[in-house]
Chains A and B, each alone.
Chain A
Amino acid sequence: MVKAVKGTLVKCDASIKAMLVKMDEDHNHEFIIEDLDEEHVLVKDSKLAELKQRLQSMMKERLKEPESSDSD
């Protein structure tokens, strides 16, 4: 019998996906419903915003980029 699961499909780079999966593991698997393929994961609707926010802060931590100067 065919099953339909409600959720949000998240498309991202493989590297970003690795970070998402890591975060999921650190939080008792409360974000990801199913790992689909290299660039797609199925995430709980209600957790998407939180996941995005965590990703942003994680990126900020890991990637230090030079501040571009806008003076001219």
Chain B
Amino acid sequence: MSASSSQALEYLELLPAQTHRKLYEQPSTALAVFRCMLPHLAKTIVMAMLYMTSPFTASDLDAWFRHDSKRERDKAISVLEQLHVVSARQDTPKHISYELNKGFGRSLRQALTGSGTHRSFGVPAQSTEERASIHFLDQYAQRQWENMLFYMVGSTVGLATANLGLDVGEGTKTLLRSGDFVRVTHGRVSITRTGFTFVLQEANAQVWSLLIVYLKHAPQLGMSETDVLSFLFMLGSLELGQEYTISTLSQTQVQMLEDLSAFGIVYRSSSTSSTFYPTRLATTLTSESGALSFSSTAGTAEAGGSLSSSGTSGARGSASKGYIIIETNYRLYAYTASLLQIAVLSLFTNLTTRFPNLVSGKLTKQSITRAVKLGISSSQILSYLTANAHPQMQKNNPVLPPTVMDQIRLWEYEGERVEPTNGYLMKEFASDHEYKDLVAYAESLGVLVWKNEGRRMLFVERLEQISLYLSKKKGER
């Protein structure tokens, strides 16, 4: 499971059982959930149960696991239960059996064997005279997406006068505002803490973050959440470069196409066209391979006024090429002409000089603390620098000079003396046994943050499953 889909998983887990049941009616959704939302162990369990005709007893399941792997087992089962893929049934006291959700099982079998007439994997359009090439789609997606990112970053660092980021649609702007990615005060756009986290993520994770905000606001726009979600999962299973017809889509989904094409996730030749193309942003939604990479990009180079034709054609090939060099004396050189990248760098670097293909500057205490104040963490900065380090730097191990890494962390730590975690404090346990039992359970779920045995207290990040567990326990007694 990649980092990007984990936030989608978090969102999915919070949906009610009813929504899950409706979602699982679509084979494409069942497949997508199976393929990229479930941890590996959970996948194995689902696969084993897929063709079982009767419920699967808990004792049989336990027989599959070593005793010392109870933790992993609990975690996998709890994810499956949260998603309502598997449900536990208590036949008699002490005798629990698990059952695969009927709809999920049927849909997944259909998806795997290609049976049924569900058409949930999209219907390719027959015609047409002119097809958009994959290269064109990539460029389109990149341009739309970068425009949006630049809208967020550019105005904060004072590069707003550039001609990039101006043609961002009203709908997109509203969405960014309601997702708390940017804040508008007196007509000036400034980026927020959430926004920074967003910009520094890799593209695939960005797409999911934005779509989750979109999902949360779907009901306000009169769209059904289920419809929106199953459409997104369908998009993830489409083929890049293939044209699809909109005739099989629901009203909501057609309405969505408009928004999605503003983000660059799908492409339509005109807003009344009866077909659409998924772009790379869409087709990588539910896969583990990386989405578009935004390093040396043609789209931004163009806006920066230094487009070369080789840059346009070579952009895809050298997609993962890094461009940042950092020396042990904190000096930073970045081979880029992209305004977006310069803007991102200037969030935490004191940039001093710009050449046609290079910017240089220095990481200073001031620039780092400024970034920290705005909400970027040192680990975000470091991972951004590492991910985009120049090939020559990549040969080193570690990639960045250790002195620089340590210093950046120290600078941050100086400003941030406290480490807050939201959650719940559990206390007043009746017995030691009860306390230890819950600690072990919270630990296996990975929600335990702090515990104190002497005072019988623990602190958890999330309560839902804990309270479920407690009430289940109560029932047993």
Which A residues have a C-beta under 8 Å from some C-beta of B?
1-13, 16, 20, 33-34, 36-37, 40, 42-43, 45, 48, 52, 55-56, 59, 68, 70
Contacts and interface: CB of A to CB of B under 8 A. Distances in A.
10 contacts: A3-B426, A5-B425, A9-B421, A10-B420, A11-B420, A12-B418, A42-B425, A45-B422, A59-B417, A70-B362
A37 B420 contact: no
Contacts of A2: 426-430, 434, 438, 470
A43 to B, nearest CB: 7
A17 to B, nearest CB: 9
Q: Which of A2, A10, A11, A37 has the most CB of B within 10 A?
A: A2
Contacts of A9: 420-423, 425, 449-450, 459
Given A2-B429, A2-B470, A70-B364, A7 B424 contact: yes
B424 A12 contact: no
A23 B107 CA distance: 58
Contacts of B434: 2
Given A10-B419, A12-B417, A43-B420, A5 B362 contact: no
B426 A55 contact: no
Nearest to B434: A2
B450 A6 contact: no
B162 to A, nearest CB: 27
B134 interface: no
Given A1-B430, A9-B449, A36-B457, A16 B420 contact: no
Task: List the 4 shortest-distance A-B pairs measured between CB atoms, nearest first.
Answer: A11-B419, A12-B418, A5-B425, A4-B424
Contacts of A20: 418
Contact of B417 (A4, A16, A68): A16
Contacts of A68: 365
Contacts of A56: 415
Contacts of B425: 4-5, 7, 9, 33-34, 36, 42
A11 B366 contact: no
A15 to B, nearest CB: 9
Nearest to A42: B425
Contacts of A3: 426-428
Contact of A8 (B350, B366, B421, B455): B421
A13 to B, nearest CB: 7
Contacts of B160: none
A11 B421 contact: yes
Interface of B: 350, 362, 364-366, 415, 417-430, 434, 438, 449-450, 452, 455, 457, 459, 463, 466-467, 470
A56 to B, nearest CB: 8
Contacts, number: 83
A12 B350 CA distance: 30
Query: Among the interface residues B415, B417, B423, B452, which one has the most CB atoms of the partner chain A within 10 A?
Result: B417
Nearest to A45: B422
Contacts of A52: 418
A5 B458 CA distance: 11
Nearest to B417: A16
Give the one of B350, B415, B419 with max A CB within 10 A: B419
Contacts of A40: 450, 459
A11 B424 contact: no
B460 to A, nearest CB: 8
A33 B459 CA distance: 13
Given A8-B422, A12-B419, A48-B420, A70 B427 contact: no
Contacts of A12: 417-419
Contacts of B428: 1-3
Contacts of B457: 36
B353 to A, nearest CB: 14
A15 B450 CA distance: 19
Contacts of A7: 423-425
A13 B417 contact: yes
Given A2-B428, A2-B429, A3-B427, A70 B350 contact: yes
A10 B350 contact: no
Contacts of B466: 4
B463 A4 contact: yes
Nearest to A12: B418
A59 B459 CA distance: 28
A34 B459 CA distance: 12
A3 B457 CA distance: 10
Nearest to A33: B425
B426 to A, nearest CB: 5
Given A12-B417, A68-B365, A36 B450 contact: yes
Contacts of A11: 418-421, 450
B467 to A, nearest CB: 7
A8 B426 CA distance: 13
Contacts of B417: 12-13, 16, 55, 59
A64 to B, nearest CB: 14
Contacts of B420: 8-11, 43, 48
